[in-house]
Structure 1
Amino acid sequence: MKIKFLLVTLLISVIGFSQSVNDFKAVIIPLKYEFLKTENQYRLATMTKSNLIKAGFTAFYTNEEIPAEYSDRCQLLYVDVKKESGFLVTKLFVEFKDCFGKVVYTSEIGKSKEKDYEVAYKESLDLAFVSINKLHYKYNGKVVATTSKISPSAASVAVQTVAVATTPPVADISDPNLLYAQPTENGYQLIDKTPKVVMKLLKTSRPDSFIAIKDGVQGSLNAKDNQWFFEYYQNDKLVSEKVSVKF
């Protein structure tokens, strides 16, 4: 009896912390999916947006100027269309991820036996969206947590750091290579618009300097002249790369 009670309690707690597409204000659509060669090839990005709007979502392409009310990236979903291998059959399904890259919802697989790629992709995508339409999406106004839970001791360290912090460089939000900082237990991770983790930062005793790791290369991220620079040694020479970051 106790075991059953514990299992039920665990199930309830898992459900309580699960996310729904209804928790998010809008959806961001990439112009190019991994299995395609060019942007909006076969009009797949266009068809994705059309289907999302029909399903009740507010949707934007990654290159669109997003209204201020949607400026919090963690209040948005990031859609991806994926292709599954199949002999003489085109199979597509749709994934929705949050700003941390966690999958919130995966659609059913849409299939087509059409030989023409554009026709096959349209039919497959439309069929994949059948399951999405059944969600009856409606934004519930829920505020999605944008930071990881930290211990009281870590929180006190963070407060002390803020107290001595200097004004960080101002991010240029028009920069197409702008990276977004997401708090982690020991610092931050910088993600791009896809969202993909580009760099990991570890805190130091200075608020304007971090230990930085990018593509296996360890260096430092330093604030200089109101800009951030990723600095590392390559062949015994110091390399300094400008990085646009929004904290």
Structure 2
Amino acid sequence: MKKILLLLTLLISGLCSSQTVNDYKYLVVPVKFDFFKEENKYNLNMLTKMMFEKYGFTVYQAGQKMPDEVALDKCKALYGTLESDSGVLTTALYITIKDCDGKELFRSTKGVSKIKDFKQAYYEALREAAVSLESLNYQYSGKDAAAIANEVRTAPKQTAPATSISSPETIAPEKPIQVSNENQLFAQPIANGYQLVDMTPKVVLKMYKTSQPDNFTAQGEGKNGVVFKKGNEWFFEYYQNEKLVSEKLNIKF
């Protein structure tokens, strides 16, 4: 009986969070997470932005030019971030969504990884935590943004945040589709990065530098994602038809 009551409580909590989140059209992610000293370390901030976009949110990074309504009133947007609960042997992350007053509207299940490589561990933990976002079924309700901002300001403060939790036993973490691109690609320097050309020659991908030497944001042929080096190999990860694809690249610098 206790288990049934707990399950009902979690389901009701998740529905409430979903209904509230659906009232907002925009979501803002930070350029630096609190548990890092560097901006966009491991490309994690960019990946988080892409992850929210995958589930239907209109996302901006802090510091970007915002829509006029958000620029004039920050309460017309939600604020998504990652929180670390890592230990000595594990990397663990939560995804949270808050309003402009810091009220927590959503908290994911904990994404956990035991991979020793920090970058890959954070990627795996983020993918596991992101599974919970599917349970939100986010879809902007079209509610007037001015009314939402007014509700946020006038609503009484709550000491216990609403929480949405998905069961890790029933939902498997997303695994990337593995693809191998055997074509030889040549890296040509451009401003802020490289362009990759094939034997044609044709530009197939542009890579832009980040704060990490072997991590790039990338765009090309209708795909947007990240390029990173793992061991002695290069990979391009992006979403295609709502599936994460990890494409191995053959790059010559």
Paired letter, 2:153: T
**Which residue of structure 1 aligns with residue 58 of structure 2?**
58
Q: 1:160-175 maps to which residues of 2 (within 5 A)?
A: none
Which of the pair has the greater relative contact order for Cα pairs under 8 Å at 6+ separation?
2
Instruction: Please say if residues 110 and 128 of structure 1, whose CA atoms lie closer than 8 Å, have aligned partners that are also in contact.
Output: yes
Instruction: Please say if residues 25 and 70 of structure 1, whose CA atoms lie closer than 8 Å, have aligned partners that are also in contact.
Output: no
Larger radius of gyration: 1
Q: Is the alpha carbon distance of 1:88 and 1:55 closer, same or farther for their aligned partners in structure 2, counting shifts above 3 Å?
A: same
> In percent, how many aligned pairs have the same letter?
40
User: What is the CA–CA distance in structure 2 between the aligned matches of 1:118 and 1:97, rounded to whole Å?
Assistant: 26
RMSD between aligned residues: 2.4
- Structure 1 unaligned segments of length 5 or more: list them: 1-11, 151-247
Instruction: Please say if residues 20 and 105 of structure 1, whose CA atoms lie closer than 8 Å, have aligned partners that are also in contact.
Output: no
Instruction: Please say if residues 89 and 114 of structure 2, whose CA atoms lie closer than 8 Å, have aligned partners that are also in contact.
Output: yes
Give the secondary-structure state (helix, strand or coil) at the position aligned to 2:122.
helix
User: What is the CA–CA distance in structure 2 between the aligned matches of 1:146 and 1:102, rounded to whole Å?
Assistant: 9
Q: 1:70-219 maps to which residues of 2 (within 5 A)?
A: 70-71=70-71, 72-142=73-143, 143-144=147-148, 145-148=151-154
User: What is the CA–CA distance in structure 2 between the aligned matches of 1:98 and 1:104, rounded to whole Å?
Assistant: 7
User: What is the CA–CA distance in structure 2 between the aligned matches of 1:110 and 1:87, rounded to whole Å?
Assistant: 15
Give the secondary-structure state (helix, strand or coil) at the position aligned to 2:125.
helix
Q: Give the CA deviation at 1:30.
A: 0.6
Give the secondary-structure state (helix, strand or coil) at the position aligned to 2:141.
coil
- Structure 2 unaligned segments of length 5 or more: list them: 1-11, 157-253
Give the secondary-structure state (helix, strand or coil) at the position aligned to 1:23.
coil
Q: Deviations over 1:206-240 (max 9, x none)?
A: xxxxxxxxxxxxxxxxxxxxxxxxxxxxxxxxxxx
Q: Give the CA deviation at 1:148.
A: 2.4
Q: Is the alpha carbon distance of 1:84 and 1:16 closer, same or farther for their aligned partners in structure 2, counting shifts above 3 Å?
A: closer
Instruction: State yes or no: 1:25 paired with 2:25.
Output: yes
Q: Return the TM-score normalized by structure 1.
A: 0.51
Q: Is the alpha carbon distance of 1:37 and 1:19 closer, same or farther for their aligned partners in structure 2, counting shifts above 3 Å?
A: same
User: What is the CA–CA distance in structure 1 between the aligned matches of 2:69 and 2:22, rounded to whole Å?
Assistant: 17
User: What is the CA–CA distance in structure 2 between the aligned matches of 1:130 and 1:92, rounded to whole Å?
Assistant: 12
Q: Give the CA deviation at 1:80.
A: 1.6
**Which residue of structure 2 aligns with residue 156 of structure 1?**
none
User: What is the CA–CA distance in structure 2 between the aligned matches of 1:67 and 1:129, rounded to whole Å?
Assistant: 26
User: What is the CA–CA distance in structure 1 between the aligned matches of 2:123 and 2:85, rounded to whole Å?
Assistant: 15
Q: Say how many residue pairs are matched.
A: 137
Paired letter, 1:35: F
